[in-house]
A and B are shown apart, each in its own frame.
Chain A
Amino acid sequence: MGDPNGFLTTQRLVAADRAPLERIRDWQEIHAALPGVDQERQGSRCMNCGIPFCQAGVLIKGAASGCPLHNLMPEWNDLIWRGQWHEAWLRLMKTNNFPEFTGRVCPAPCEGACTVGLNDPPVTIKANECAIIDRAWSEGWMQPQPPKRRSGKSVAIVGSGPAGLACADQLNKAGHQVVVYERADRPGGLLTYGIPNMKLDKTWVSRRVALMADAGIAFVTGCEVGRDLPMPQVRAAHDAVVLCGGATRPRDLSVPGRSLSGIHFAVDYLTASTRWLLDQQAKGRPSIDVRGLDVVVIGGGDTGTDCVATAIRQGCRSVRQLEIMPEAPAERRGDNPWPQWPAIKRTDYGQEEAIFISGADPRHYLTTALAFLDDGHGQVGGIETARVNWTPNSQGRMTPIPVPGSEQTLPAQRVLLAMGFLGPESTALDELQLARDAQSRVQTGDGSYQTSQAGIFAAGDMRRGQSLVVWAIQEGRAAARACDLYLSGTSLLPG
């Protein structure tokens, strides 16, 4: 920490996103970057804490406090302040395989736990991270690093989301021959199809995949293990398998009218949109299109926000977002102190854009959908909603109870269900008869990534349940170490 008073003398500064009016007209990233010298000054705000809570990555009350990857923020914050970008990059790469992803899409639990945040706005950790890795790419520091010595062992990785990619990257470093199987036409999993382009430009994903391929990792796309390729065959062809298939079963809403057409899962909608974008040569419209329609998104999370923003770009007539939870407070509540993840109201880019267009926040809090209304053609035309009260049920669990008389009907020709995911899909797992837990996640031993079958490992949402990209990378890295230990007896991979 070169400047012990930085946190007192320098204000937090992040680059403003591109203006809503401008950005909704295209699909380009909404992010902008600060000039390098300003970003460097932001590094000086880091206090180089005796206990950097930012890198702790511990669970407090179920939420991550600090970075699950244990990024070495105090080290690289200081380095960028010194203008030592190359060193900063080296320290960043020690813990994070894909900073260009987390630097864009991570909700940054690090900043929630940043000690500066006790009294002032926290250090711009996420922007600093993004600036470091973007510079590394632009300076040409990012070069394929094939291992100098191959182990002679091969590992199959099923799924190419962030967990799978991270796992592949690590195992390749350790010298194992890695094959990544992906059922979609492009690798990347949710990075490619789950997150819209304006949040994470797909160029970055393909650039990364290409780099990994150059380092010796094989990618097999359009191949669903368990369907296109039987699992036992995969197992037999490799010395180990790591399952990184994600938690892709979306949560549904079984209310009257669910079978009407025009009701889609958010992930399908977003996938369709991105595929249309990437396949620009196909022209035409996305397979799920909302142009000129009233859209209702059910679910107030990040995916819901992505749906809102996508719908706006597709030219919807209106967009509303139903959120069953109450509006979060503007500041931390007493029972949610630092360094816990701050449960505060955030107005994300999608809502910002909606507000910009319509003048009103699209979010309807404490609201549930009671029924989907038929437009007469088997197509959804509206939603009947009601306000809810959260009251304890007989077991004492808080449950949302509709308030009689609060019913309302909203126009909706398209409904997007963004209510989270239930767990992994079953096919490949059943084929192997892997042990699962009550939430249908793949069970692994305490603190290990080994499934109930030797040589088969699981990581990411498939093991952990639906979570953040940053957790997925962490899982992929840890599973890689477990797998390497299994294959080699020792491992120099960080855990």
Chain B
Amino acid sequence: MKQVSGLPPKQGLYDPGQEHDACGIGLVVNIRGERSHDIVSQAISVLINLSHRGGAGSEDNSGDGAGILLQIPDRMLRTICPSIGIHLPEPGRYGVGMVFLPRDDDFRKAVEHQIEAMVRDEGQIVLGWRTPPINESTLGMAARDSRPAIRQLFIGQGRCSPSSDGLAFERSLYLIRKRCERLVEGKSEESPDYFYFASLSSRTIVYKGMLTARQVPAFYLDLTSLDMESALALVHARYSTNTFPSWERAHPYRTLAHNGEINTIRGNVNWMRARQPQIETRLFGPDISRVFPVIRPGGSDSAMFDNCLEFLSLGGRSIAHAALMMVPEPWEKHESMADDLKAFYAYHSTLMEPWDGPAAMIFTDGIRVGALLDRNGLRPARYLVTRDDLLVLSSEAGVLDIPPEQVVRRDRLRPGRMLLIDTAAGQLIADATFKAQLARERPYRQWLNDQLVLLPSQGAAPADTGSLDDQALDRQLKRFGYTNEDVQVVINAMARDAIEPIGSMGTDTPLAVLSDRPQLLYNFFKQLFAQVTNPPIDALREHIVTSSALYLGAEGNLVDPHPDNCRRLRLDTPLIDANTLDLIRGIRQPGLCPVELSILCPIPENQGSLTSDDLEAQLSRLFAEAEQAVLRGAGILILSDRSAGPDWAAMPALLACAGLHHHLIRRGLRTRVSLVLDSGEPREVHHFALLVGYGVSAIHPYLALETVRAQVRRQFLPGLDEASAVNNYLKAGTKGLVKVLSKMGISTMQSYQGAQIFEAVGIGSDLIDRYFCDTPSRIGGIGLDAIARTVNTFRQAADDPNQTDPGLDSGGQYRWRSQGEEHLFNPLSVHMLQQAVRSGDYKQYQAYAHLMNDTSRRHMTLRGLFDLIPARESVPLDDVEPVEAIVRRFKTGAMSYGSLSQEAHETLAIAMNRLGGKSNTGEGGEDPQRFEPLTSGDSRCSAIKQVASGRFGVTSNYLVHAQELQIKMAQGAKPGEGGQLPGRKVYPWIAKTRHATPGVGLISPPPHHDIYSIEDLAELIHDLKNANDEARISVKLVSEAGVGTIAAGVAKGRADVILISGYDGGTGASPLSSIRHAGLPWELGLAETHQTLLLNDLRSRITVETDGKLLTGRDVAVAALLGAEEFGFATGPLIALGCIMMRVCNLDTCPVGVATQNPDLRCRFTGKPEHVENFMRFIAMDLREIMAELGFRTINEMVGRVDRLDSQAAARAHPDLKLDLSRLVHEPDIGRQIGRYGQFRQDHGLSQSMDQQILLPICQSALRRGLPVQATLPIHNVNRVTGTSLGSAITRRYGPDGLPEDTIQLTFVGSAGQSFAAFIPRGLTMVIEGEANDYIGKGLSGGKVVVRPDHRAIFRSEENVIVGNVAFYGATAGEAYIAGAAGERFCVRNSGLDAVVEAVGDHGCEYMTGGRVVVLGHTGRNFAAGMSGGIAYVLDADNAFARRCNQETVSCEKLTDPVEARQVYDMVARHCRWTQSTYAASILAHWEDWLPYFMRVMPRDYQRVLEAAKAMRQEGLDPEQALMAAFTINARDLARVSGN
């Protein structure tokens, strides 16, 4: 359906399936259900005030889409219709379809005719068609050109079977639509260019299109008619990751408007398709299959969600009930949820997996309207209720001007909570009320008790499985391709520590398809991960929202709430031991009957080895047997390779499972059975993830477990018995799995199962299409024959009677081995590079480059597979732009001060500054002393300052000293993950730079808590541009399928630079499986990005950079030809400085002083700036020679010249691999006028800001002379990032200390937009009288922020939400007084701010490392998660706080110390003075009564270090020495800092 969507067809690496969107949403409703035109016009105002959350393409007047959903405007239609010959029956007995049709009249008429026929066929009456009046004069070219014919179809109610719920007519209309879609879309040859029902209902109507917010009422003239009335209105402004015209993808959909993303969409859609055959109901007439597919393919995730919600709500459940099924709140670990509600969720979880992802949804069936937030609360949704029962809900507060005295309540939607309005009953139904009612509708607990099968929890002694002796075990290990590393590095670590092993320095081994060594099938898959359009989550610190449980057995009937549905077996984790497997084997209930199937292939005696034909035949045999078993009633299939031996080869378990999964889906049998795998093959987290991702419910990794036991017997796991070692291993596996899914932003295993969140690299399409359907695999690759060869190789070694080469191979994946896997960095290449840069001898560099390129070409990298095509006429070397110009495009990688030693970090900076290139701070701040030049003239100031999720050291002063600000969305070595710096590495000097405490661990969260979607990123870009308007804003992404579309979204968000990082980049510390298996080579991501940006005409607006093991001039040349114009290097320069790839960065034992803070080791650093300069110059010289040969004089000429890359070279060099790189060198068919490299500057629109227009002019006297300034100004939600430019002007002039406190005092009246007062320094005091949105006080750097309700407000301040989510994220200093409640994640990552607030939402003070926070009222759940410093004081009036506080790292005690109590009193007093809070005043007035209720939340590590430092000071040490001494004492206690 390419035409409908308006997206270009799949081409090159661009895949329209990767498109994302996000947005702002709004809802205006009269609770009493009174219809009026005011509701419509107010909703349109809301839409316009959310404009900045929508996107616009390369053309400002072509929006990404906007629209409105209303009740059927009966009054208006009844007025108009008679004049066009349509006679409407009474309201409710006619339906209206809003239809997008072909522009061609004949074609349109033909389609209309078909629709009419269908209406009649369903027994309904065609009343007529209307063309709603439109005015397209304001539309942009793209929107106008792509506009469909828009028609309204009126259908009168005809024959309808009576139904108790009054939905019979709606169902009939639904059937008409579904059948039309199938009819029209089924005919692929003559399918119309447009055929889409924006809505077809007797209750609601949708006006939408490829419009900007303002264009909506201008385009659809109906909307301005005063007769256009509704009691409710949903609006939506879309921001998509592309600039392609799409009328259909605008929201709202038929029941829904959505802000966010469904991360699990592929799995949800697969499962929905799979369970269709099991759905039985008469509600849709005799033949249910007429509504299938429930989910129309090719839609966006929101569209698909809408499809499912609509189906469920017409299928017998209320729309709110259906929504809760799809987006359940996290119930399993809820500390205080009522049991019957838990039972409700548990029952429904046996029917359907959650649709998981960041989501704020508003939905309606035309009568009831609801809003729902995802379990993580990752999207904002604020609402207010007025005295006259108007409810306004929106992504932001302040989108509608309502007099303050009218507002009776200001609140926000909370994670997993629902807001429901029944306009018929005139009621606002509270979340708890509604859910309690729902939970009591049926005896869910009883049903579960009767039906659900639970197994005794694991931990019992493992069954004695008849242990293998050492030699037999070795043979089995060889049979499944285990290496010594698998055992010693991976399995041992998991069994010993119950966590995955950690590594460093990235990976430099070949892609599996290019390796000379036999590769497990798992290695051909890379994990995908969330970046930008959805956030990864923190499964550790926010484990309350996660679940690793899965169900086994046949699924029930989705639409029939029957007790039998929950006759399933619940497992707490998909990883099981032998006991559990035995228990499963023994189950005999219907729907749960287990059947065992072998996944072994007999080896023909005469043949001795397995062929691809054998393998294929055995897979078919397996599929057929499975099918038979299911038809005979099996509910569980246990696939086993137990008896693998000389005569029986095990087929790769992943192949068997994924293939069977898809086979059963194709046969409509999938949801009748669960797959359990009993295999020797899987051994590490990536394997488990793939198996679950392709449909397996439970894995018994028997050989890995046997190995664990053997390792205990061999005394490799001292202190552990076999049972606890096995449990540790399984626990590590489960934790690792949860981490893999959290990288994708998925919270529950159930949603991850079958979601196939992987990209294959090097697997041919035959294999993909049969066994791994719909998995992206973009360079072709191996088939079954290669898989059979690998099986044979392993078998030979295992079955060799002589055991010619006893013992397991070393492996050499993680650490180089002569006999092991190849590495780009090996003894020779490291030595040659170091000698070259130390001697400054270009010839030696050439020898190194020759070696490196040769290794790369033979079998290492994608870039190595291309041949460069020389020009017919080369250019003289002298005509090529000089080395000095080229090195300016070079950068060093983002490596933090903390991961690197001071010596290494500064040497890199000096070298790059000398060259005019750029070094990067990494995520660790920078010592302000480095901003001053050295007397030698050198500068240690890093040109690029990174802004990562931890925001360490991100102050106003830091930001203004950057030439480029880099937002790190992901990191190659561990995309989708955060980081942790254990306390023993937080040396005093590191702590100082990071605004932390020595010896106290630091956590970087997985997501940026101010970026949960693309429009959030646009906001942060805008914020940073305000904080330093001279710096380029760069966004760092990691290569994966779909990164091109994300890059396009980033370009639309006005980034100046996009960095596409390869998966192989270095790291200080990362789980080994992440290093190897997450993300893709930069070649793929870069090519996709370049192609997608060209298709969108965005390429010329942005600079594209790439990095990831760029090691020679040739590498850089390939990067330029694939579309990059700037280049990053990290491992290379480190080697130049003396790094010898020890891969111990995580241990702080770097013996060459590069990646350590240990002063004894730092002394050993021998690197010099000249070494790095030589490296960079050599690369540039090398590149120039290639440029001359290719005939390019400048890099700009060279960018994206894929015609100079011979993609066939791979096929010639490795014909057996069947690789096809042609998609990397695809050239989109675009006009010559489209720019192909960064040549225009982005318009950041700073000049229109309040700062530029008002604040800076009125504060001149303060800025120039430090004189006090005071002013009062109005403010609206569209005034974003107010005060930041002013703040940066102060910092530029006055440095880190700013101005004297309160020099500038600005009072704003109204609703402040996002990022109010971000990064403001000392001397600037900003007061809001009214309310504020998300991200207030982000990065506060010493300024003061006060928010108090409007003086006319009538609500109680402490009960009303006055600031949004993620307030004071990453604040380093300052004060804040908030007279009201704050949203989720108040003071997240605060490291120095003192704040007083009257209530906070969930996850308060998360990851906090410093400062003090006083909460005078209620806190949400998971308070203080990951908090490692600072102190929080919470007034706990109901004695329930301790349960809501995450006490993993903190202790929670009464506030008893009188000195401290006095400090808290003073803070509250200041709060009172600034806010005039009557609530605070009443507490102060009765201080002694309240004091006993104050809880003091103190991180334990923090307390210990502070006490140690205090003791040291008492012993006479000065404060600095005392800290160092305290740090040393602390570091000795290794057990404590083991991290996780």
Chain A positions within 8 Å of B, measured between CB atoms, are: 4-5, 7-8, 47-53, 55-58, 60, 65-66, 70, 72, 74-75, 82, 84, 87, 90-91, 93-95, 113, 115-116, 118-119, 147-149, 173-175, 337, 339-340, 490-494
Contact = CB atoms under 8 A, between A and B. Distances in A.
B708 to A, nearest CB: 16
A91 B810 CA distance: 9
B1139 to A, nearest CB: 9
Contacts of A55: 817-818
9 contacts: A7-B1149, A47-B1142, A48-B815, A50-B1143, A75-B484, A87-B714, A113-B827, A115-B1151, A339-B827
A65 B827 contact: yes
B1140 A115 contact: yes
B957 to A, nearest CB: 37
Contacts of B802: 147-149, 173-175, 492
B139 interface: no
B805 A94 contact: yes
B815 A58 contact: no
Contact of B805 (A51, A66, A74, A492): A492
- Name the prevailing secondary structure of the B interface residues: loop
A49 B806 contact: no
B715 interface: yes
A8 B484 CA distance: 27
Given A49-B815, A493-B804, A119 B1151 contact: yes
A50 B1142 contact: yes
A492 B1142 contact: no
Contacts of B138: none
B719 interface: no
Instruction: Give the top 7 A-B pairs by smallest Cβ distance, nearest first.
Output: A50-B1143, A70-B818, A56-B827, A50-B1141, A147-B802, A148-B801, A492-B804
Interface in B1095-1153: 1140-1144, 1147, 1149, 1151-1152
Interface stretch (B68-76, B698-706, B828-836): B828-836
B1151 A84 contact: no
Given A70-B819, A84-B714, A84-B715, A118 B1143 contact: no
Given A50-B1144, A66-B827, A494-B819, A174 B1151 contact: no
Contacts of A113: 827
B800 A492 contact: yes
Given A174-B802, A493-B804, A8 B825 contact: no
Contacts of B807: 90-91, 93-94
A58 B1149 contact: no
B722 to A, nearest CB: 18
Interface string B701-724: 000000000000011100000000
A99 to B, nearest CB: 15
Given A93-B806, A174-B804, A492-B800, A51 B1141 contact: yes
A424 B997 CA distance: 70
A95 B1161 CA distance: 33
Given A66-B827, A492-B805, A4 B1144 contact: yes
Contacts of A52: 815-817
Interface in B763-819: 796-797, 800-807, 810, 815-819
B1151 A494 contact: no
Contacts of A47: 1142, 1144, 1149, 1151
Interface string B1145-1173: 00101011000000011001000000000
B87 to A, nearest CB: 82
Nearest to A5: B1149
B804 A173 contact: yes
B505 interface: yes
B826 interface: yes
A119 B1140 CA distance: 13
Given A50-B1144, A51-B1142, 14 more contacts: A5-B1149, A50-B1141, A51-B1141, A52-B816, A55-B817, A70-B818, A72-B810, A74-B815, A115-B1142, A147-B802, A148-B803, A149-B802, A174-B802, A339-B827
Given A5-B1149, A115-B1151, A51 B816 contact: yes
B479 to A, nearest CB: 14
A150 to B, nearest CB: 9
A391 to B, nearest CB: 25
A420 B1027 CA distance: 74
Contacts of B1161: 8
B497 to A, nearest CB: 13
A55 B827 CA distance: 9
Contacts of B1151: 7, 47, 115-116, 118-119
A90 B470 CA distance: 12
A58 B828 CA distance: 7
Interface string B936-952: 00000000000000000
Contacts of A492: 796-797, 800, 802, 804-805
Interface in B484-508: 484, 488, 505
Contacts of B804: 173-175, 491-493
Given A84-B715, A118-B1151, A339-B831, A51 B1140 contact: yes
A491 B805 CA distance: 10
Which one of B488, B825, B831 has the highest number of Cβ atoms from chain A below 10 Å of its Cβ?
Answer: B831
A490 B804 CA distance: 12
Interface in B1053-1095: none
Nearest to A174: B804
B819 A50 contact: no
B801 A493 contact: no
Given A72-B817, A115-B1151, A51 B826 contact: yes
B490 to A, nearest CB: 15
A56 B812 CA distance: 13
Nearest to B815: A50
A173 B802 CA distance: 6
B711 to A, nearest CB: 11
B923 to A, nearest CB: 23
Contacts of A53: 827, 1140
Nearest to A340: B831
A95 B1144 CA distance: 26
A52 B1142 CA distance: 8
Contact of B827 (A58, A94, A494): A58
Interface in B817-854: 817-819, 823, 825-828, 830-831, 835
Contacts of A57: 818
A354 to B, nearest CB: 37
A58 B851 CA distance: 14
B200 to A, nearest CB: 63
B805 A493 contact: yes
Nearest to B796: A492
A87 B825 CA distance: 29
A93 B714 CA distance: 18
Nearest to B804: A492
A439 B1212 CA distance: 38
Contacts of A60: 828, 831
Contact of B1149 (A4, A56, A74, A173): A4
Contacts of B1164: 118-119
Contacts of A5: 1149
Contacts of B488: 75
Contacts of A84: 714-716
A452 B1044 CA distance: 56
B709 to A, nearest CB: 16
A49 B825 CA distance: 13
A490 B488 CA distance: 29
Most chain A CB within 10 A, of B810, B826, B830, B1160, is at B810
Q: Find the residue from B807, B818, B826, B1152 having the highest chain A CB count within 10 A.
A: B818
A72 B483 CA distance: 14
A494 B806 CA distance: 10
A99 B825 CA distance: 29
Contacts of A91: 484, 807
A57 B817 CA distance: 11
A115 B807 CA distance: 26
